[in-house]
Amino acid sequence: MMSAVTGYAGRLTQTTKRVAAIITTLLIFLMDSLSTLDIAIAVLYVAVILISVDIFSRKGVLCIALGCCGLTVLAYVSSHGLKCSDDSCGRCFISLSAIVVTAYLALKHSTAKSNLEEQLLLLNRSEAFLAGAQSLSLTGSFGFLMPCTEMYWSTEAKRIFEFDDVQKPTVDEMVKLIHADDQARVRTAIHQVGTAHAPLELEFRVVMTDGRLKTLRMLASPFAETHNTCEFMGALMDVTAARTAEEALQRSQSELAHITRVTTLGELAASIAHEVNQPLAAVITNAESGLRWLNRKEPDVVEVRNAIERIIAQANRASEVVKRVRAISRKAVPEHGKVDVSELVKETTQLVEREIKRNKITLRCYMDERAPLINGDRVQLQQVIINLIINAMQAMSHHVGGPREVLILVKRSETHDLGVTVRDNGPGILEKNIPNLFEPFFTTKAKGVGMGLAICRSIIEAHGGRIWASSEPGNGASFNFSLPRYGGPLI
């Protein structure tokens, strides 16, 4: 409504201006034709043209200019007739030239002005788009000039940091908000970037005044460099939601992994019981024989000492098994560290040794000495190895004829990363099943849940690696995984 009224008022003033311009033209014409003064009154038409530039279109201005020229000639003819007197003819010519030149310049100016206006409009639009996109994507932009610490922040960047408009954004102000654990890291990074003029990539947490935590990702790269200053431009993203979701996903993954680990332990219960029972039996027999050596007419101290030493060794062995089982069943956040997978495979095979024997399977391991260390969580990787061995064993449980054999290869891949293969000589995998093997709830076992391999995949992928299966039906199956070497790039 308002705009309609304003529009109407605008049209009204526009019309008034036009009428005023026409009246002025007529007045000048009257003055020109009626005046007896020997001056070029028609030059005043210039004013009409200058006014009309703002109120008429280009064509309108052209018409007015032509009209003014016509009126000038008309006034001349009406007062001087068709004869040409030097003075008045010269005045008329000057007037006409003034009108034409003014019209030309005015039109040129108006074109430039309208171009500018158009660009301004575009600029406003693109700025609005940018601001909209920034607020939609929770990405702010910023700039700063090293070594001074003053910063330019976009509206969204300010919103992310929850700065008000009066607050002057500086690096120090920003660092003040950063979580105490991350502050030193961010300061060093900014300092380094300032001296090296290198791109910056940072992720840190900030604490809002009300205690909320946000995770921000900051990217910046040098933009304009001089010998001692460097201007950076960058993007600031609020990745809190993504990080929260990621953490929740990791949590549920590690919980699921824990559950399947415990389930696996259940499957291995008989083996584990045996692993504990064996040293306990040795402890008891050693203790009893020790007593017997003591109770002889001539106690044999050497035998007693040996028996006690064996008791200690076997008690430790039992305790090791318990420790290992507890490590597997522990419900803990994955802890990443240097892992020697060959060592882990050895340890794991001890845990499933009985199960292997019970199934009359020969387990062979080949460890390449050059196999690299990797970065990962021992418990989770052990879970993958146990899972693959159990799968291999189960695959062969109905396999009659021919030796049952599980082969574990730990090697260095061509890319110097780690490769592990668990191969069985069971019936193999149907080709149509291979693409679905690692999908959750996919199983070919009568009592399977179909989570084992899905979890293996999520564990291996979380470690930056890859897992795949291959099989020649009738000739067994191979499960392979590769993991990036410690400190190497992801695969």
Partner 1 sequence: MIIECTPPEVFVVDDDIAICEAISALLRSTGIRVRTFNSGSKFLLAAEEVTPDCVILDVRLQGESGLDLPVQMLQRNIYSPIVFISGHGDIQMSVAAIKAGALDFLVKPFRDQELLDAVTVSIREGVEYREQTLKLMTLRSRYSTLSPRERQVMGHAVSGLMNKQIAALLGLSEVTVKIHRKQAMDKMLAGTFAELVKMEVLLSG
Residues in contact with partner 1 by CB under 8 A are: 270, 273-274, 277-286, 288-290, 292-293, 296, 300, 303, 306-307, 310, 313-314, 317, 354, 357-358, 360, 362
Beta strands in 101-168 (DSSP E): 139-146, 151-153
Smaller CB distance to partner 1: residue 310 or 411? 310
Q: Is the C-alpha dihedral spanning 108, 109, 112, 115 positive or negative? A: negative
Residue 203 tokens read as: 């992720």
**Using CA atoms, how far apart are residues 429 and 77, in angstroms rounded to an integer?**
109
**Using CA atoms, how far apart are residues 308 and 93, in angstroms rounded to an integer?**
132
- Tell me the sheet residues that pair with 409: 366, 421
CA angle 461, 464, 469 (to 5 degrees): 50
**Residue 316 Cβ vs partner 1, minimum distance, rounded to whole Å:** 11
- Closest by CA position to 65, among listed 92, 78, 46: 46
**Residue 270 Cβ vs partner 1, minimum distance, rounded to whole Å:** 7
- Whole-angstrom CA distances from 298 to 79, 277, 289, 302 are 160, 32, 14, 12
DSSP structure class, residue 426: S
Q: Which 3 state secondary structure label does DSSP give 108?
A: helix
**Residue 274 Cβ vs partner 1, minimum distance, rounded to whole Å:** 5
Burial class of residue 214 (count of CB atoms within 10 Å of its CB; 0-12, 13-18, 19+)? buried
**Residue 386 Cβ vs partner 1, minimum distance, rounded to whole Å:** 20
- Our CA dihedral for 316, 348, 485, 247, rounded to 10 degrees, sits at -90
**Residue 303 Cβ vs partner 1, minimum distance, rounded to whole Å:** 6
Smaller CB distance to partner 1: residue 158 or 292? 292
Smaller CB distance to partner 1: residue 207 or 315? 315
**Residue 346 Cβ vs partner 1, minimum distance, rounded to whole Å:** 16
Taking residue 204's Cβ as centre, other Cβ atoms within 10 Å add up to 20
**Residue 313 Cβ vs partner 1, minimum distance, rounded to whole Å:** 7
Smaller CB distance to partner 1: residue 199 or 266? 266
Smaller CB distance to partner 1: residue 102 or 286? 286
Smaller CB distance to partner 1: residue 28 or 311? 311
**Quick check: 441 and 387 in contact, CB under 8 A?**
no
**Residue 282 Cβ vs partner 1, minimum distance, rounded to whole Å:** 4
Smaller CB distance to partner 1: residue 235 or 272? 272
Amino acid at 378: R
> Pairing relation of β-strands 405-412 and 418-424?
antiparallel
Residue 39 tokens read as: 């001056």
Smaller CB distance to partner 1: residue 354 or 466? 354
Q: What share of the chain is helix, strand, coil (3-state, %, to 5)?
A: 60, 15, 25
Smaller CB distance to partner 1: residue 72 or 271? 271
**Residue 280 Cβ vs partner 1, minimum distance, rounded to whole Å:** 6
